Amino acid sequence: MTEQPSRRLLLVHAHPDDESINNGATMAAYAAGGARVTLVTCTLGELGEVIPPELRHLTGTALGEYRLRELTAAMRELGVADFRQLGGPGRYRDSGMMGLADNDDPACFWQADVDEAAAHLVEVILEVRPQVLITYDDHGGYGHPDHIQAHRVAMRAAELAAEAGWEIPKIYWNRVPRSVAEAAFARLADDLPDLPYSKAAVIDDVPGVVSDEQITAAIDGTAHAAAKAAAMRAHGTQIEVAEPYFALSNEQAQPLFATEYYQLVRGAAGEPRETDLFAGIEFAGVEEAS
């Protein structure tokens, strides 16, 4: 018998780097506080656009293997020991951006049977027994097929796990309040001349921006901002970091958020605007896992 930490957080993401951009500060904060943080990544991002010229020879499986090493380095920066690939490394391939021929690849995640993919995640849920699950909204934050599929798989797995004996008390979707995004982009406009980027992104490039009223939780990760930036920097094929900003392969600057925001979609909120994703959950102390 092994003992589990009393607080257990599960995150489901589409590609390596999504976790650090969206939840790096949250993951670092909870890991530092003694919670068990488990990350499940659904693909290895084999179709990602590579930023450094010296690494642009990496494509397909070779790029996926390299990005798995980047993910390992990023998790080390965040203090997260438990990170996995859905169904094992390479089980589901990157689907590419919406509307591309890559979406039709039978091996890609977009073409996966949702219940079959969810069954792999159910195995993780029944092992870890998380009280909190974080994933994307039904649009995947910005419409990428792998993000949409990750949402579908995560939500279906939560249903199947409940039928199998473990109901996740609280499920959150990644969000950014519009007022916060607007303020950050206003600062970016002032700072842009001093940054290594020639152009700024726009708010619509940020996944999950919604009205402030939809935000139910805010995790202040200021103390872990450096860890988040280091984790993002570890994903060097995909991200260029110039704190407190970063750019993807389009070379357009956008804010690096140290406070991360969520919308509770299942479960009861512990307070009107939560500052702890575990708020309202009753703990019986440290539990045992068989």
Q: Annotated binding site for Zn(2+): which residue ranges?
A: 15, 18, 147
- Number of Cβ within 10 Å of residue 222's Cβ equals 10
140-145: long-range pairs with CB below 8 Å, 24+: 140/14, 140/207, 141/22, 141/174, 141/207, 141/208, 142/205, 142/206, 142/207, 142/208, 143/98, 144/14, 144/95, 144/97, 144/98, 145/95, 145/96, 145/97, 145/98, 145/103, 145/109, 145/110
Nearest to 162 by CA among 139, 129, 194, 191: 129
Encoding tokens for residue 17?
């780097």
Binding residues: 15, 18, 147
Pairing relationship of beta strands 170-177 and 259-266 according to DSSP bridges: antiparallel
